[in-house]
């Protein structure tokens, strides 16, 4: 165990969930609802949830509003990370990043390889930091959201995970 951080209790974070889809509604949004449910089960607060079409500017508008809100600590998006013509989540959100978290996509695809084989190469899962807000972009399937949450995000958003985690970095994420 690292001595860098002191022992701590669980601290809930405020999350916003974005579903990127041209066809899903609140009633049919299994992926977004899976993320919302899993975050709540882990003890976090989902303070907002939105569904937007796979449109670069609509995605940027919603996420820009969230990263400007100091009450939103984490944004998790689902959908739009594939390679088809309409998939544009990475193109929409990467320009907002102050820092990229390259290892997230690499780790996601490594874990996904065990679950779905070489099809994992089609995922462009990414993550970054924007204005002190963590942003994680997952593929749009419910299984992909379970993979990302259960195998990466649940632990990394928990202050108790050792030797380190993303939750320990608040409020230091805005340091210059």
Band the pLDDT of 170: cuts 50, 70, 90.
confident
Band the pLDDT of 146: cuts 50, 70, 90.
very high
- What tens digit of pLDDT does each residue of 6-38 get? 567 889 999 999 999 999 999 999 999 999 999
Q: What CATH code would you report for 14-168?
A: 3.40.980.10
Strand order in the sheet with 133-138: 45-52, 14-20, 74-78, 133-138, 126-130, 99-100
Q: Where are the beta strands (DSSP E) in 21-152?
A: 45-52, 74-78, 99-100, 126-130, 133-138
Quick one: pLDDT at residue 4?
46
- pLDDT exceeds 80 at position 1: no
Quick one: pLDDT at residue 2?
41
- pTM, full prediction: 0.93
Quick one: pLDDT at residue 113?
95
- 141 sits in the region (left: phi over 0; alpha: psi -120 to 50; else beta) called beta
Quick one: pLDDT at residue 171?
67
The overall average pLDDT reported for the chain is: 92
């Amino acid at each position: 165990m690292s001595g860098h951080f002191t022992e701590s209790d669980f601290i809930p974070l405020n999350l916003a969930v974005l579903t990127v889809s041209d066809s899903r509604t609140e009633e049919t949004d299994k992926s977004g609802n899976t993320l919302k449910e899993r975050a709540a089960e882990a003890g976090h607060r989902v303070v907002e949830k939105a569904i937007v079409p796979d449109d670069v500017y609509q995605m940027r508008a919603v996420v820009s509003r969230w990263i400007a809100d100091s009450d939103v600590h984490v944004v998790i998006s689902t959908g739009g990370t594939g390679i088809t013509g309409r998939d544009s989540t990475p193109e929409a959100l990467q320009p907002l990043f102050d820092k990229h978290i390259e290892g997230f996509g690499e780790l996601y695809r490594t874990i996904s390889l065990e679950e779905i084989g070489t099809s994992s190469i089609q995922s462009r899962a990414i993550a970054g930091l924007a204005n002190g807000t963590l942003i994680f972009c997952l593929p749009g399937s419910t299984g992909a959201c379970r993979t990302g949450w259960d195998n990466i995000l649940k632990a990394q958003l928990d202050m108790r995970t050792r030797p380190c985690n993303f939750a320990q970095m608040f409020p230091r994420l805005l340091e210059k």
